Chain A
């Protein structure tokens, strides 16, 4: 059972464009929503995260938008660059066990120069 659903599976964007990745969750006990970035051959690394009492968080070109009532959150990458090409995972923490992260399926982002 996939408790965090992520879309799209893959995304192609031109340099300078906006990349948008969406996630939806079911468990209202989730209390922390991170996004991880993974480059080929590497482990995932935290990119940006948000708590459900905040509707938006921005760090540089990366923004999380959070809609608690809809149980949805999204990652926006402004001015996308070829170096942003990677796999992105949304995740949600909490539920039945502390520290447990439930991940989305992942989105492969390709930014063309």
Chain B
């Protein structure tokens, strides 16, 4: 089954304690991205990756890091989490070669709900 998986699904942590949220896709997609979802703000892109070892900042990258050492994995790292990073996080992947008629589809993971105390 084609899917994007994220772990953990739920996480409660304290300010300053480093954490990593993993993301993996089994569709051989080149493009991967992280979003955060906050009420009234929709989804905002944090970081994205065009391919292995190629990453760039999205709209809200402050306080986050990413790496893309393998095509299938794109972990999100919070080196020193703060309460304003409490949010719902989504990983997504897509491929420019997929043909959905109106452009490629981004496939989203199930989300990770993070609470930073």
Contact = CB atoms under 8 A, between A and B. Distances in A.
Nearest to B41: A105
A12 interface: no
Interface in A45-104: 45-46, 49-51, 57, 89, 93, 97-104
A31 B90 CA distance: 23
A90 to B, nearest CB: 9
A50 B100 CA distance: 10
B90 to A, nearest CB: 5
Interface in B83-116: 90, 92, 94, 96, 100-106, 108-111
Interface size bracket, A side: 20 to 34
B58 interface: yes
B58 A100 contact: yes
Interface string B6-36: 0000000000000000000000000101010
A98 B111 contact: no
Contact of B102 (A34, A42, A97): A34
B31 A89 contact: no
A22 B103 CA distance: 21
B56 A34 contact: no
A46 B48 contact: no
Interface residues of B, number: 30
Contacts of B52: none
Contact of B42 (A42, A98, A106): A106
Nearest to A1: B59
A51 B103 contact: yes
B42 A103 contact: yes
B103 A43 contact: no
Given A99-B50, A99-B104, A103-B42, 16 more contacts: A6-B42, A34-B102, A34-B103, A42-B110, A43-B4, A44-B90, A46-B105, A49-B101, A93-B103, A98-B31, A99-B33, A100-B33, A103-B43, A105-B40, A105-B41, A105-B42
Smallest CB-CB A-B distances: 7 pairs: A43-B108, A32-B103, A103-B42, A49-B102, A103-B43, A105-B42, A99-B31
Interface of B: 4, 31, 33, 35, 40-45, 48, 50, 56, 58-59, 90, 92, 94, 96, 100-106, 108-111
